[in-house]
Amino acid sequence: MSTAAIAPELPRESRMHYLNANFGIKSWLFTTDHKRIALLYLGSITLMFFIGGFGALLMRIHLLAPEGWLMSPETYNKMFTMHGVVMVWFFLIPSIPTTLGNFLVPMMIGARDLAFPKLNLLSWYLFIAGAVVALAALIAGGVDTGWTFYTPLSTLYLTTHVLSTATGIFIAGFSSILTGLNFIVTIHKMRAPGMTWYRLPLFIWSLYATSIIFVLATPVLAITLLLIGVERILHVGIFDPALGGDPILFQHLFWFYSHPAVYIMILPGMGVVSELVTCFSRKRSFGYTLIAYASLAIAMLGFLVWGHHMFVSGQSAYDALIFSLLSFAIAVPSAVKVFNWTATLYKGSISYQAPMLYALGFIGLFTMGGLTGLFLASLAVDVHVHDTYFVIAHFHYIMVGGAVMAYLGGIHFWWPKITGRMYPDVWARLAALIVFAGFNLTFFPQFVLGYLGMPRRYAMYPPEFHWLNVLSTAGASILAVGYVAPLVYLIWSIRYGPPAGANPWKASGLEWEESPSPPPTENFETIPIVSKEAYHYAEGIRAHP
């Protein structure tokens, strides 16, 4: 019986693939294989996610009591800054592009690797260098500017580790730029014969749009952080009103990067959802071209809405009016996507595998986050809820309910391809439901809190907000369970999971149809010739019988 169990294992294990092509720590640290680099990134950003998430959990525990009981207000300030810096720059921005993107861009377009494999490895080292510098600053005592580094607070008044944290972000920024550059060139130049632009999976379109933002927005952040450094070291007044500078200009430059950065976080997630929705409803994507163009439209319009962060910062009323209008405009391509996903589901043969649960969760939560974004884009409403928990809830619905849900959905979807193993489906479905429930319990009360007037970034609050805060903290602990569970069963599956086979979901796409799981180092035996549209699903056949 034992021999029978081992016998079918042998041929599978003897096949060469990217994981067993060579061994040892050097074969990983000096690899130029995009799939291995994706796994290096996966490990690093998972670590950062749990560091940032732990900070969030501590904050929620602190806010269990109205007067705050766990830490001093100063520590609380450092805690939310740490949470923001780690989550934004070291998890959300690199999350989907550097892991799933790195793994899938060459595989989906039928290439052997990215156009610049060494640059790809360099970008991982830059990311690690930036993360180490930023984490060292946090361990050395932390920084309490908030993740936005507003001047003159960050340049004049604080003696905390502003400079070293900013240096870490500056370095990590170049990692983003190189990744974006690599993707754009790869998508333009490395497509397999027959892989026309309109046969590309929508995930590729969304990463293309994301990469445009990477290369055009990140340099502006870099120069802004450099100027903060110059101002702090030389005590000159670039942003200091006492020396003739203008602190609002800092906000303009900062949000010129950081608003498009929001779309860096959500666009790849939208791409993942397009893949999941089509696969698990066995249908072509409704409105393929519209979704593809919507990605580009979001990338373009994303550069024109930064002023909506500054409605109460003293910019002119006309500016505010235009930025408000443009912010409404960017809701259109986002809504185009949501309607198209919904139309794809309509009359589809839907099956509720774990990745699909995440995708459906994404659609609902992203819609909530997007619609409350319209509240905030309206000038008068924004004045009322500005800097309250309403804003916190809004962007967490996008960042966590949207981006993280899509990230987890994508990891679950492509895990069999990445590792060659299946994870226990029951656990995965349960975890998806726990995440969904925990998320809503955490953040929905924050909409109410914000509307009632609870300001963000305070270590304490009036007693009348108590029960809503308790609900939110309870939700956060449930959410934590939902995030730890995949860590456990996915790692378990690497060793004990059943072999997945080349295409366990019967999905379309070159990575599924033309390559085994895990793929060989060179991705394809011969470069495939593409003759079909993306998502050529025969309707009526489910992903799982």
**Interface contacts to other proteins, rule CB under 8 A:** 106, 111-117, 177, 180-182, 184-186, 188-190, 215-220, 222-224, 227, 230, 233-238, 243-246, 249, 253, 256, 522, 527
Q: Residue 219 CB, nearest distance to other proteins (Å)?
A: 4
Calpha distance 434→274 (Å, rounded): 23
Whichever of 84 and 110 has its CB closer to other proteins, that residue is: 110
Calpha distance 78→70 (Å, rounded): 13
Secondary structure of residue 421 in the 3-state scheme: strand
Q: What DSSP element (H or E) covers 403? A: none
Q: Residue 227 CB, nearest distance to other proteins (Å)?
A: 8
Whichever of 231 and 382 has its CB closer to other proteins, that residue is: 231
What are the φ/ψ torsions at residue 94 (nearest 5 degrees)? Answer: -80, -15
Angle between helices 317-345 and 247-281 (to 10 degrees): 10
Three-state secondary structure of 119-144: HHHHHHHHHHHHHHHHHHHHHCCCCC
- Residues 6 or more apart whose Cβ sits within 8 Å of residue 157: none
Q: Residue 165 CB, nearest distance to other proteins (Å)?
A: 20
Q: Residue 233 CB, nearest distance to other proteins (Å)?
A: 8
Whichever of 243 and 426 has its CB closer to other proteins, that residue is: 243
User: Is 82 within 8 Å of 141 (Cβ atoms)?
Assistant: no
Calpha distance 471→458 (Å, rounded): 18
- Extract the tokens encoding 408: 């987890």
* DSSP state, residue 387: T
Q: Residue 195 CB, nearest distance to other proteins (Å)?
A: 13
Whichever of 260 and 482 has its CB closer to other proteins, that residue is: 260
Q: Residues 440, 443, 448, CA angle at the centre, nearest 5°? A: 115
Nearest to 169 by CA among 122, 247, 229: 229
Q: What DSSP element (H or E) covers 464? A: none
Q: Residue 268 CB, nearest distance to other proteins (Å)?
A: 19
For 80-107, the DSSP string reads HHHHHHHHIIIIITTHHIIIIIHHHHHH
Length of the chain: 545
Whichever of 114 and 393 has its CB closer to other proteins, that residue is: 114
Secondary structure of residue 449 in the 3-state scheme: helix
User: Is 413 within 8 Å of 272 (Cβ atoms)?
Assistant: yes
Q: Residue 184 CB, nearest distance to other proteins (Å)?
A: 6
Strand residues in 171-303 grouped as ranges (E): none
Whichever of 79 and 212 has its CB closer to other proteins, that residue is: 212
Whichever of 216 and 374 has its CB closer to other proteins, that residue is: 216
* DSSP state, residue 454: P
Whichever of 213 and 291 has its CB closer to other proteins, that residue is: 213
Whichever of 241 and 462 has its CB closer to other proteins, that residue is: 241
Whichever of 34 and 83 has its CB closer to other proteins, that residue is: 34
Cα Rg of the chain, angstroms: 23
For 498-526, the DSSP string reads PB--S-TT---SHHHHSS-SSPPTTS-SS
Whichever of 53 and 247 has its CB closer to other proteins, that residue is: 247
Q: Residue 32 CB, nearest distance to other proteins (Å)?
A: 9
- Extract the tokens encoding 541: 């056949």
Amino acid at 478: I
Q: Residue 508 CB, nearest distance to other proteins (Å)?
A: 24
Secondary structure of residue 388 in the 3-state scheme: strand
Calpha distance 117→126 (Å, rounded): 14
Whichever of 223 and 332 has its CB closer to other proteins, that residue is: 223
Q: Residue 211 CB, nearest distance to other proteins (Å)?
A: 9
What are the φ/ψ torsions at residue 455 (nearest 5 degrees)? Answer: -75, 150
Whichever of 244 and 545 has its CB closer to other proteins, that residue is: 244
Chain-centre distance for alpha carbon 81:
18
Calpha distance 260→214 (Å, rounded): 9
